Amino acid sequence: MTAKVTTRSGALEGEEQRGVLVFRGIPYAAAPIGKLRFRPPEGPPSWQGVRSARRFGPSAPQSVAMGRIARRLVGGGPDQSQDCLYLNVWTPATQGRRPVMVWIHGGAFVLGSGSTRLYSGARLARRGDVVVVTLNYRLGALGFLNLREVLASSESPSANLGLRDQIAALEWVRDHIERFGGDPENVTVFGESAGAMSVGTLLGTPRARGLFRRAILQSGAAHNVSSAEEGSAIAEHFLQELGIAQLDMEALRALPVSELMRAQTATSRKMGIVDGSLPFQPSVDGDLLPEPPLDAIAGGLSSDVCVLVGSNRDEWKLFTLGDTGLRRMNEDHLRRRLARTLSGSGSQLAELAYETYQNAGGERRGLSPADRWVAFQSDRIFHYPAACLAETHAASGGRSYTYLFDWAPPLLGKRIGACHGIEIPFVFGTLRDPWLRPLLGSTRTARKLSHRIQEAWLGFARTGHPGHPNLPHWPVYARDRRRTLVLGADCHLRDSLFEEERRFWEQVL
């Protein structure tokens, strides 16, 4: 069964699947190719007749090596192109005005796609009577290279192109989503990892103001933004990898994508990514991002946006799967890793970090050196930034809610725990995906938790409050108690979670 919608650009024909209308591969901006490479997104093209919207558009170019299963679940897929600025819509019907949920995918700003099977919006749309949108945006060097200060060019180079793409997609939602049965005045933007970091950045981006009323951040906050100096240093190294110290835009646009991907990979290896640093990420550019997002949030830029932010208990365990040194880590090895990670902060701070995690209480009491490293990295990159965003937003007059996801798969619980990204199928209701079933087991407990999380996310999108009758009372985040809802087999409230560790990170980040 087909479904038709007429947009400002032209007519679209999607399809009906089990009570949900699906429109795939909708262009929300012009293809960023030729003279538009390394340029801000321009308006979408128009077309005559009816355009088929049954197939996903190509993913952004990405060079990260991945296994077949990982690529199927989170990667961009084999169909990749610079012509990647497409979005997808799932809606129960084209009549009415439903809450809209816009998903920004993760992938360290260098991989991923809105068409990944884990992000199918069908179950959320069907369960909550909402409109779900997923999107692609430019990645890596094509999306997050800050060329403003390093290129000799007659034109003014832009930065944060991937972020500009996300804003263009949200503007498309504002202008078109009513024709798909959505309410443009009730938009929730949500994302995971780099997607959540994008959401945190959008909260501090003046041009994004008014494009969404609510924000859900899963395992990401507003810390992953480079300074202008850091962004320029990364761009300079990237250009050096291309063999050219200075380059004009015309020559840069003429290079094949494969050469750009080669330089991108080399730059990532040289300037981070192993310890959680992300060379290609948003950066302060004096234009789209005039100041660090947290500063803008502290100043009240997004105080009218309701925020739901959280992380997973064992985030960093996902990134230890290939860490052979972790298996034989002892106290001396841990000390050296802490000193290397905190190298710019002084040896005394590294020793304080060692003592803080050695003396941690609660469920972290008596952890092995390897597990203390996991706790340290989970706090540094995910837990503390989430708490900091909630606190900053609340202090500016905004309303925040916080959570900690705490569910580990039955078969690999000790190995991966409640690791990074494991909550995604719970949010989208894709636990029974054939590629996930062997890992997650799709137990009754897991399905029950998935239903609770979906209802909380849907309720938040609908009203700005994530409460649900099957969950404990979920209070607004307040500094005096820092109450967080733990989402697991047993959902319960916790006060001042990881408090001693949080105090340590206040001195560092």
So what's the pLDDT on residue 438?
66
Q: How far apart are CA 433 and CA 118, in angstroms?
A: 8
Per-residue model confidence (pLDDT) at position 148: 86
Cβ atoms of 151 and 162 closer than 8 Å? no
Nearest to 449 by CA among 485, 482, 413: 485
Cα(463)–Cα(485) distance, rounded to whole angstroms? 18
Give the Cα-Cα-Cα angle 484, 488, 494 (nearest 5 degrees).
25
Take residue 97 and report the two structure tokens written for it: 């005005």
Task: Catalogue all structural domains in the chain, each as residue range(s) with its CATH number.
Answer: 2-302 (3.40.50.1820), 310-325+332-359+370-506 (3.40.50.1820)
In a 3-state reduction of DSSP, which class is residue 97? coil
Q: Active-site positions?
A: 193, 315, 420
Amino acid 243: pLDDT:
85
pLDDT at position 72 is: 54
CB-CB contact of 188 with 216 (8 Å): yes
For residue 274, what pLDDT is reported?
Answer: 53
At residue 73, the pLDDT reads 53
Beta strand ranges found along 50-181 (DSSP E) = 50-52, 86-91, 98-104, 131-135
The whole-angstrom distance between residue 365's C-alpha and the CA centroid of its chain comes to 31
Task: Provide the 10 A C-beta neighbour count for residue 67.
Answer: 9
The interaxial angle of helices 384-395 and 499-506, nearest 10 deg, is 80
The residues near 6 (Cβ < 8 Å, ≥ 6 apart) are: 12, 179
For the chain, which ranges sit under pLDDT 70?
64-78, 152-154, 245-247, 273-275, 344-347, 413, 438-442
Task: Tell me which residue of 262, 34, 285, 248 sits closest to 161, measured CA to CA.
Answer: 285
The enclosing H or E element of 167 equals helix 161-176
Which DSSP state fits 65? Answer: -
CB half-sphere exposure, 351, CA atoms < 13 A: 3
Predicted confidence (pLDDT) per residue in 292-348, tens digit: 999 999 999 999 999 999 999 999 999 998 888 898 999 999 999 999 999 866 668
Beta-carbon contacts of residue 259 (< 8 Å; ≥ 6 apart): 242
Kind of pairing between the strands at 11-17 and 20-27: antiparallel
Residue 53 is predicted with a pLDDT of 97
Task: Using DSSP, state whether 140 is helix, strand or coil.
Answer: helix
Q: What are phi and psi of 258, to 5 degrees?
A: -60, -35
Look at strands 2-6 and 131-135 and give their pairing: unpaired
Please give the DSSP secondary-structure letter assigned to residue 361. Answer: -
398: amino acid identity, one letter: G
Contact of 307 with 297, CB cutoff 8 Å: no
Four-residue CA torsion sign, 272, 278, 284, 285: positive
Distance CA 203, CA 167 (A): 11
For residue 479, give the nearest of 387, 375, 354 by alpha carbon. Answer: 387
Distances (CA, A) of 18 to 84, 125, 373: 28, 11, 46
User: How many angstroms separate the CA atoms of 330 and 131, rounded?
Assistant: 50
Q: How many CB atoms lie within 10 A of CB 175?
A: 14
